[in-house]
Amino acid sequence: MKAIVLTKYGSSDVLELQDVEKPKPKEGEVLVKIHATAINDWDWCLMRGTPFYIRLFCGLFKPNIHIPGAEIAGRVETVGQNVTQFKPGDAVYGDISECGFGGFAEYVCVPETALALKPEGMTFVEATALPHAAMLAVQGLVDEGQIQPGQKVLINGAGGGVGTLGVQIAKLIGVSNVTGVDSSDKFAMMRSVGFVQLIDYTQEDFTQSKERYDLVLDTKTNRSIFNYLRVLNPQGTYVTVGADTANLFQVLFLQPMISVFSKKRVCLVNLKPNKDLDYINKLFETGNIKPILDGPYTLSEVPDIIQYFGLGKHKGKVVVAIE
């Protein structure tokens, strides 16, 4: 089978399209013929081996994960022993980041627990855009952010997968005024999914403005936590879904102290993969959410589009169709 293979850390030229052995499912696993996959931060960080904590999990000097790709959508081809949830021919999708990755390939074997049935009205390309970004949006806004109708909400890094799904979820909950922070070339798309106020981060630092928010969902974490606290209302909440390592550690260490001396809340999403896919399926089937797709690209283009993703130029979710 064809796969994008990673043998050392570096820039996009370390990724190669190669012929590799087709996997066979073990007990409790299913073999999925992949129809679509997507790019996310895991792939960008794994390719480069940065931030450093990536190497603690994925290999100190060279990667022990040889086929990146954390999100898949496809059809079950065969099943291993004792598989009860799926049968050959089932259309499935999911986040496989806790199962060894492997999405940038024609086939992958994963535990059945890492997958969900794909709704009939959802294409494979749409399906692969949802597992990671939608879970971060739901768990950031609802589980950690405890979003409430009528609140004033800001999403930093709003033009990517998390932000474009997050604003749709926020509006469904009853938040009519969501501010999005990203580059101005994404503004038309951002308005189309529901952002009301738009801030171009290249022209304005929202943490220095006089505006105050009840909830900030941050996909970038590129400032000190004290900058974010400044723009929160007295009982406001700041939620980060990840990104810059130094600032994430600052959130972790200062979180208890902030709760003692302030009524403001600071939260870090500890992602639970696929936890809320049933909820997202229902929203999709009722037409209440729709992923914004950048692509689809081809498997051979993956090295270039990971670099493109890392530059932050993409709009919505970067997706790949595998034929």
Residue 59 has pLDDT above 90, yes or no: no
Residue 247 has pLDDT above 90, yes or no: no
**What is the predicted pLDDT for the residue at 287?**
95
Instruction: Spell out the domains of the chain, with CATH numbers in brackets.
Output: 2-130+291-321 (3.90.180.10), 132-268 (3.40.50.720)
Residue 255 has pLDDT above 80, yes or no: no
Residue 254 has pLDDT above 90, yes or no: no
Structure tokens, 20: 């590799």
For the chain, the C-alpha Rg in angstroms (whole number) is 20
Task: List pLDDT tens digits, range 261-297.
Answer: 778 999 889 999 999 999 999 999 999 999 999 999 9
Largest CA distance in the chain: 60
Task: List pLDDT tens digits, range 170-208.
Answer: 999 999 999 999 999 999 999 999 999 999 999 999 999
**What is the predicted pLDDT for the residue at 250?**
72
Residue 84 has pLDDT above 80, yes or no: yes
pLDDT band at 248 (very low <50, low <70, confident <90, very high): low
